Structures are given as structure tokens and as C-alpha cells.
Amino acid sequence: MTVQPEVPQRRVVVTSARTSAVHRTRGATASREIDEQTALGEVLVRSLMRAQLRIAFYAFAATAVLLGGLPLLFAVAPQLAGIHVLGVPLTWLLLAVAVYPLVCLAGWAYVRAAERNEKDFTDLVDRS
């Protein structure tokens, strides 16, 4: 009696008998809509740009009120010019020193809000 070595069996591909069945494809995603520049993608991008512009306007308005309000304050209250701190007029200190931390704070708040908008937009696109 001779023993034949085992031949490994070949893999077999199993397919559906319904070869004409329609394959379900995933609906259009937001990122595809943006990439293909469809009307929906355009609306999504425009909404992000509008939100970013709104934040920029608020940051500009706050900075303009701050910087424009100081000369107005000095005109309304001229007695501030007579106050000296360490030999320097208070008006000069406010204009030369106190303004910069406030402008930096406004810039920081703007960047934080803009990044939050972008994150929300990215989450929206990733969810769809």
C-alpha cells in the first residue's frame, strides 16, 4: 500500500447567485460634496467662511472700540492727563503699555474662536 502525499486544497471564491443585484453605495458625503464643488459643498464652505468673517468682525470691533475709546476717554476726562505714575503721564502709560496685553487678548480670543469653528466644521464633515 502506497501513501500519497496530501495535496493542499485550492481556495474557492464564493459569490452570490444574484450577480445582477444592485450594490448599495454610500450616499454622497460632505467631504465629497466639497471636493467636487457641488452646490451643497459650496453652501458648507460658504457657511464656514461666513462664521469666520463674523468672528473677525467681532474681534475688529472690540479692538476698534478699545483703541478708539481711549482718545475719546482722554477728551471727555482731561484730568487724566494730569495724573502721573512714576513720572509718566497716565495717558501715555495707557496708550503705550496697557493696550498691548488687551490687543493680544483679543487676538488670542479670535484664534480660539476660529479654531473652534473649524473643528465644528470638520466634525460636521466627518459625521456625514
Per-residue pLDDT, averaged over 69-73, amounts to 87
Q: What is the pLDDT of residue 27?
A: 53
Q: What is the pLDDT of residue 35?
A: 67
Is residue 40 within 8 Å of 32, Cβ to Cβ? no
List the alpha helices (DSSP H) in the chain.
30-35, 39-76, 90-93, 99-127
Give which of 104, 102, 40, 117 is closest to 70, Cα–Cα.
Answer: 102
Whether the per-residue pLDDT at 16 is higher than 80: the answer is no
Which of 24-28, 60-64, 74-78 has maximum average pLDDT?
A: 60-64
pLDDT-based confidence at residue 55 (cuts at 50, 70, 90):
very high
The span from the CA of 78 to the CA of 82, in Å, is 8
Per-residue pLDDT, averaged over 73-96, amounts to 86
Q: Strand pairing of 88-89 and 84-85?
A: antiparallel
pTM of the model: 0.63
